[in-house]
Amino acid sequence: MSLLKVEGLTTAFKTSRGEITAIEDVSFTLGEREILGIVGESGSGKSVTALTIMGLLPNPPARVASGEVRFDGKVLTRLSDTRMQKVRGSGIAMVFQEPMTSLNPVFTIGEQLMETLRAHERLSPRAQRERAVEILTRVGIPSAAQRLGDYPHQLSGGQRQRVMIAIALSCRPRLLIADEPTTALDVTIQAQILDLLMDLRDEFGMAIMIITHNMGVIAQTADRVLVMYAGRIVEEAPIEALFERPTHPYTRGLLECVPSLDQDRARLAAIPGTLPDPARRPRGCRYAPRCALRIEACTTAIPPLLGIEAEHAAACIRAIPA
C-alpha cells in the first residue's frame, strides 16, 4: 500500500484577476522509502502541490477545489487544523528552500530544535538536549553540543539547511518533503546535502519528496519522477525510463536545453517562448504554444496522462510509445 496517495487534486487561488488554479487534477502515489522527484519551472505548481499536501496554504485565498490527499490511511484534506498539526512533524515534515527565513532569528537553534521535540514527544529537558545533540550530529553539524546556543545568523547557509533538516527529522517523520532544498546553496554544499538526504532515507526508512527545477538534482536522487508544467503533471516515470525514454516534448526539451559536463554541444537546444501566465493559460495542452510537434488537436482539449509502459505515462497526444 502506498504511504501517500494524491487524487485529482486541484488547488485554486482567489486573485484580483479572478480565481486561478495553481494545480489541476494532480494524481500520484508515493511508497514507503521511495524518493519521488517533482521537477518543474516557475508556475508549474510543484510547490503548491507540496503546500497543499501539508495543509499550509491559507484559506482564503487558497482552497482545495477538488480531489483529496490520503496519507497513511487518513484523508488529510478533510482533517481539522488541530489534527493536521499532529500529522505535520511526526507524519510529514517539510524543508524549504531558504533556510534563513525558515528559522526564527531570535531563538537559538537548540531552542528551535527542542521546541519541535517537545511538541510531539514528552521528554525531560535533559533528554531533549541529548536528542537535539544526537540529531544535529547526525546531519553533520560539527561539535553539536557547543552549537546549540548559536543563533541562525551565526551559521553558514549549508549549516542552516542542516539544522532545518534536523528539525524536520526530529519527530521521525515517515515522509520528508524537501522543496528546492539546495537551490540557495553552493554546489559543493549542494552535493553534501543531497548525499545526506539519501543516507537518511536509507537509515530512517522514510519516504522523500524532492521538489526542484534542476534535472541534475533529480538524476542524482530520485527513484521516480513527476514532470509538471503550468499546473499539471505532463509525465510520470521511473528515473531510468525518464532519462532513457523521455516522452513528453517538454520533458525532452528540459533534458536537452541544459548543457552537460559530459558532452560538448555547439548550441543549446532552447525551448522557444515563455512559460504561460497562470491567468492566461492556453487552451488545450499548456505546452502546445512552445511545442515543435503541435498539431491542431493539441489546442482543443487537455491531453490526459496515458500509459506508455509500466509506471510510465505522458500527457501528450503526439507521444510515440517506446
Partner 1 sequence: MTPLVDAVALEKHFASGEGALLARRAGRLRAVDGVSLRIAHGETLGLVGESGCGKSTLGRLLIRLTEPSAGAIFFEGEEITRLSTKALREKRRAMQIIFQDPYGALNPRMSVEDIIMEPLLIHGAKRDAPTRQKVSEMLDLVGLPKHARDRFPHEFSGGQRQRIGIARALVLRPKLVVCDEPVSALDVSVQAQIVNLLQDLQSELRLTYLFIAHDLSVVKHISNRVAVMYLGKLVEIAEKRELYRKPLHPYTQALIAAVPVAHPANRASARAGRVRLPGDVPSALHPPTGCRFHTRCPHAMAICRAEEPKIAEPVAGHHVACHLIGPS
Smallest distance from the beta carbon of 248 to partner 1, in angstroms?
A: 13
Smallest distance from the beta carbon of 68 to partner 1, in angstroms?
A: 30
> Three cell numbers at 257?
536545453
Q: Is 242 left (phi over 0), alpha (psi -120 to 50) or beta?
A: alpha
Strands 92-95 and 175-179: parallel
Closer CB to partner 1, 116 or 190, in the complex: 190
Q: Is 29 left (phi over 0), alpha (psi -120 to 50) or beta?
A: beta
- Residues in the site for partner 1, rule: CB under 8 A? 41-42, 142, 156-159, 186-192, 194-195, 213-217, 219-220, 222, 239-240, 243, 253-254, 257-262, 264-265, 267-272, 274-275, 290
Q: Is the CB of residue 315 less than 8 Å from the CB of residue 285?
A: yes
Closer CB to partner 1, 268 or 295, in the complex: 268
Closer CB to partner 1, 122 or 265, in the complex: 265
Smallest distance from the beta carbon of 218 to partner 1, in angstroms?
A: 8
Q: Is 252 left (phi over 0), alpha (psi -120 to 50) or beta?
A: alpha
Smallest distance from the beta carbon of 187 to partner 1, in angstroms?
A: 5
Instruction: Compute CA 136 distance to the chain's CA centroid, rounded to the nearest angstrom.
Output: 23
Closer CB to partner 1, 71 or 250, in the complex: 250
Smallest distance from the beta carbon of 123 to partner 1, in angstroms?
A: 30
Smallest distance from the beta carbon of 92 to partner 1, in angstroms?
A: 25
Closer CB to partner 1, 19 or 199, in the complex: 199
Closer CB to partner 1, 222 or 319, in the complex: 222
Closer CB to partner 1, 58 or 272, in the complex: 272
Measured distance CA(216)–CA(237) in Å, rounded: 16
Q: What are the φ and ψ backbone dihedral angles of 213, each rounded to 5 degrees?
A: -100, 0
Q: Is the CB of residue 181 less than 8 Å from the CB of residue 99?
A: no
Sign of CA dihedral 162, 163, 166, 167: negative
Smallest distance from the beta carbon of 272 to partner 1, in angstroms?
A: 7
Q: Is the CB of residue 5 less than 8 Å from the CB of residue 53?
A: no
312-314: strand order across its sheet: 92-95, 175-179, 207-212, 35-39, 224-229, 232-238, 312-314, 306-309
